[in-house]
């Protein structure tokens, strides 16, 4: 019987593991499909406090993991495919393994949608990004492209003009899902050029770093090449919450909903990180909410010692 099982080993899960470990709870962390989470995919992280010269994402996450291990956290490979939250102890099933636990922290994160182009994933951190707040600063006075047609694409395009010399907003339709006010704002921005109805056929990166993009007009079949140092894919995120459908409250996009802090409608089940946050989506906010979840779990276990 575990005191606390933590689903996910990104910033949120690992921070929860550090706090739960230091509370002598011997947390069990289930890694999931992506050990270390989204930060393990990237290169430079310059906005995580405490690192004046920045730090590589995989190194930051490895440090968190070692810190959690130092305080007794145990790690298991595996993907949780079923949970029974109807009674305590909760049951967590990961393949052939079933764990029983007095409390549960869900820190399963989210997955940024990509375009589905060949080699695209390898370019993350090498000119391809899914996070303007994280990576915009790396493109000072450089031309970049934002791909997408929703509010977040418009917001990212506008935000990125603070850094970039020019922003191509590439969208496959002439109409946008984004709200009128966001479209108008982007259209009024002299640094933003709308490129529609174009789809990205290829990201040009002969040296392993983005140098441009090959586009195709979906109405005329015209081909166009743009020279850019960065491509920001802003077509949405999918929270990794399928396992909790019908079990925990979630919004229409699948993001888990907390009642207060990290608390859910089920006493003893707590949520943290990007799986419950479609607004901030930062390493430090995920880590902060992981801390909250561990403190809430600790308090819960203290109050339910039976
Ligand atoms: C390319 C890129 C660059 C970024 N750069 C920065 C940056 O510079 N600064 C910054 O602050 N933020 C950055 N971010 C955002 C930051 O990485 C995320 O906000 C943060 O990782 C969220 O942490 P998390 O723990 O909530 O989720 P994630 O990092 O998404 O981790 C989720 C974890 O849950 C696991 N999991 C999922 N489903 C299951 C399951 N069913 N069973 C078991 N485990 C499961 C996964 O394997 C993973 O370990 C970047 C993101 C990306 C993609």
Strand partners, 28: 5, 74
Active-site residue, selected from the candidate residues 11, 31, 122, 134:
134
Residue 71: which residues within 8 A CB-CB, separation 6 or more? 17, 18, 21, 22
Q: Are residues 151 and 201 in the same domain?
A: yes
Q: Are residues 79 and 128 in the same domain?
A: no
Q: Are residues 152 and 61 in the same domain?
A: no
Q: Are residues 288 and 217 in the same domain?
A: no
Give 225-267 pLDDT, tens digit per residue. 999 999 999 999 999 999 999 999 999 999 999 988 999 999 9
Render 174-195 in DSSP notation, one character per residue. SS-SS-HHHHHHHHH-TTEEEE
Mean pLDDT of 69-93: 97
Q: Is 135 a catalytic residue?
A: yes
Active-site residue, selected from the candidate residues 11, 131, 277, 291:
131
For residue 42, pLDDT beyond 90: no
Ligand 1, atom nearest to 14 Cα? 25
Q: Are residues 82 and 171 in the same domain?
A: no
- What pLDDT, on the 0 to 100 scale, is given for residue 305? 83
* Residue that is last in its domain, among 233, 249, 267: 233
Q: What whole-number distance in Å separates Cα of residue 282 and Cα of residue 41?
A: 14
Q: Are residues 245 and 105 in the same domain?
A: yes
Mean pLDDT (the chain) is 96
Q: Are residues 225 and 243 in the same domain?
A: no
* Residue that is last in its domain, among 214, 233, 252: 233
Give 132-149 pLDDT, tens digit per residue. 999 999 999 999 999 999
The torsion of the CA quartet 302, 292, 92, 61, rounded to 10 degrees, works out to -130
Active-site residue, selected from the candidate residues 31, 135, 229, 277:
135
The number of domains in the chain is: 2
Strand partners, 231: 128, 145
Render 30-84 in DSSP notation, one character per residue. E--SSTTGGGGG-SEE--STT-TT-EEHHHHHHHHHHHHHHTT-EEE-----EEE
Measured from CB, residues less than 6 Å from any atom of ligand 1 are 7-13, 30-35, 37-39, 41-42, 45, 47-48, 79-80, 107-110, 112, 124-125, 129-131, 134, 240, 243, 273-274, 281-284, 286
Q: Is 131 a catalytic residue?
A: yes
Instruction: For ligand 1, atom 6, name the residue with the nearest CA.
Output: 134
- Tokens 């995919």, residue? 41
For residue 300, pLDDT beyond 80: yes
Give 184-204 pLDDT, tens digit per residue. 999 999 999 999 999 999 999
Q: Are residues 162 and 246 in the same domain?
A: no
| Both structure tokens of 1 | 């019987």
* Residue that is last in its domain, among 233, 264, 292: 233
| Both structure tokens of 301 | 């276990």
- Label residue 185 left, alpha or beta by phi (over 0 means left) and psi (-120 to 50 means alpha): alpha
Q: Are residues 247 and 203 in the same domain?
A: no
- What pLDDT, on the 0 to 100 scale, is given for residue 306? 65
pLDDT bucket at 152, cuts 50 / 70 / 90: confident
Q: What whole-number distance in Å separates Cα of residue 141 and Cα of residue 163?
A: 6
The reply to whether the predicted model has a pTM over 0.85 is: yes
Q: In the chain, which residue ranges form alpha helices assigned H by DSSP?
A: 11-22, 57-70, 132-135, 151-160, 180-188, 283-303
Give 48-79 pLDDT, tens digit per residue. 999 999 999 999 999 999 999 999 999 999 99
Q: Domain range for residue 178? A: 121-233
CATH of the domain at 211: 3.50.50.60
% of residues, the chain, pLDDT over 90: 95
Could you tell me the CA-to-CA distances from 110 to 107, 145, 208 in Å, in that order? Answer: 9, 23, 26
Q: Is 134 a catalytic residue?
A: yes
Q: Are residues 49 and 150 in the same domain?
A: no
């Amino acid at each position: 019987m575990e005191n606390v099982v933590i689903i996910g080993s990104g910033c949120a899960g690992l921070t929860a593991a550090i706090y739960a470990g230091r509370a002598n709870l011997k947390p069990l962390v289930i890694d999931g499909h992506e050990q270390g989470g989204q930060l393990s995919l990237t290169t430079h992280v310059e906005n995580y406090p405490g690192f004046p010269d920045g730090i590589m994402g995989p190194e930051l996450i490895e440090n968190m993991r070692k810190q959690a291990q130092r305080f007794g956290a145990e790690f298991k490979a595996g993907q949780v495919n079923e949970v029974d939250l109807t009674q305590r102890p909760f049951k967590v099933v990961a393949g052939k393994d079933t764990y029983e636990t007095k409390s549960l922290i869900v820190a399963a994160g989210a997955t940024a949608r990509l375009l589905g182009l060949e080699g695209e994933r390898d370019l993350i951190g090498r000119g391809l990004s899914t996070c303007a707040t994280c990576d915009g600063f790396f493109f000072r006075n450089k031309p970049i492209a934002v791909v997408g047609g929703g509010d977040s694409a418009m917001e990212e395009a506008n935000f990125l003009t603070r850094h970039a010399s020019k922003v191509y907003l590439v969208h496959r339709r002439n109409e946008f899902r984004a709200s009128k006010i966001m479209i108008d704002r982007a259209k009024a921005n002299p640094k933003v050029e709308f490129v529609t109805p174009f789809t990205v056929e290829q990201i040009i990166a002969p040296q392993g770093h983005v140098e441009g993009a090959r586009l195709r007009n979906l109405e005329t079949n015209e081909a166009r090449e743009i020279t850019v140092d960065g491509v920001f894919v802003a077509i949405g995120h999918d929270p990794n919450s399928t396992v909790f459908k019908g079990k925990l409250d979630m919004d229409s996009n699948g993001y888990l909903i907390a009642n207060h802090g990290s608390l859910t409608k089920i006493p003893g089940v707590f949520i943290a990180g990007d799986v419950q946050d479609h607004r901030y989506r930062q390493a430090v906010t995920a880590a902060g909410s992981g801390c909250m979840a561990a403190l809430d779990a600790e308090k819960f276990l203290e109050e339910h010692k039976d």
